[in-house]
Amino acid sequence: MNYLAHLYLSGNDPHVRIGNFIGDYVKGNSYDKYSPGIRKGILLHRRIDEFTDKHPVVKQSAAKLYDHYGRYSGIITDMFYDHLLAAGWDNYSKTELSAFVTEVHKLLIFNYFKLPARVKGFLPFLIKNRGLENYRHISGLRRALTIMSNRSSLPSKTDTAIKILEEHYDEFRTEFNTFFPEVIGMSQKFLNEN
C-alpha cells in the first residue's frame, strides 16, 4: 500500500494518520520518540506492509510486473493499488476524495515539525500538486512513478509500468477489490485491539 491507502486505513484518529503516513521513514525503535497515537500509526503502517507483502492476491498482481521490475514489483503494485483506490474512492468512502486530501494536507501542515526530515522535504511538493488526489488519473500515477524513479533506485521504466497496468487493468482492479476489504478488516481489528 502507498500513501493514500495508508491514510485511508488509519481511521479517523489524526495522530494515527500522521504515524501511518510517516511509517516508512521511522526505522527500528525510533518510533519511541513519538506520542502514543503517532506510535500506534507507525505500528499500524508496519502491520499493513507485512499483511500486504504476504497476501496471495497482492503477489498475483506483482507477478505481472516481475519480468520488468524484479524485486521492485511490490512497490509498483502498491502504487497501482493507490491509483485503484483513488479511482474507485466512492466505493470505499462517503467523503469526497478532494475533501479527504484537503483534510490530510491541513493535518500534516499543522503537525509539520513532528515529521521526519525526508517527509518535510517532499510534503510541500505533494501538497502543491495534489499528488494524493491525482493518483486517480493515469497521468497522476505516471507522474508519481517518474518522480519516484528519479529520486530512488526504482528502475525508470514508467512507460512499461503504465502499459502493463493498461493491458491488465480489469485484472488489477479485481485483485485490488478482492484484497482491499481484507486489509480494511485487518486494520480495523488492529486499531480496536491496540
- Give the span between the Cα atoms of 2 and 102, in whole angstroms: 18
For residues 51-80, give the mean pLDDT.
Answer: 93
Task: State residue 1's pLDDT score.
Answer: 62
Q: Which domain holds residue 82?
A: 3-193
For residues 66-95, give the mean pLDDT.
Answer: 93
Task: State residue 153's pLDDT score.
Answer: 65
- Contact in structure between 15 and 96 (CB atoms under 8 Å): no
Task: State residue 36's pLDDT score.
Answer: 94
**Entry pTM:** 0.93
Return the higher-pLDDT residue of 70 and 16. 16
For residues 148-159, give the mean pLDDT.
Answer: 76
Rounded mean pLDDT of the chain? 92
- Give the span between the Cα atoms of 147 and 144, in whole angstroms: 5
- Give the span between the Cα atoms of 11 and 168, in whole angstroms: 31
Give the number of domains in the chain: 1
For residues 87-110, give the mean pLDDT.
Answer: 96
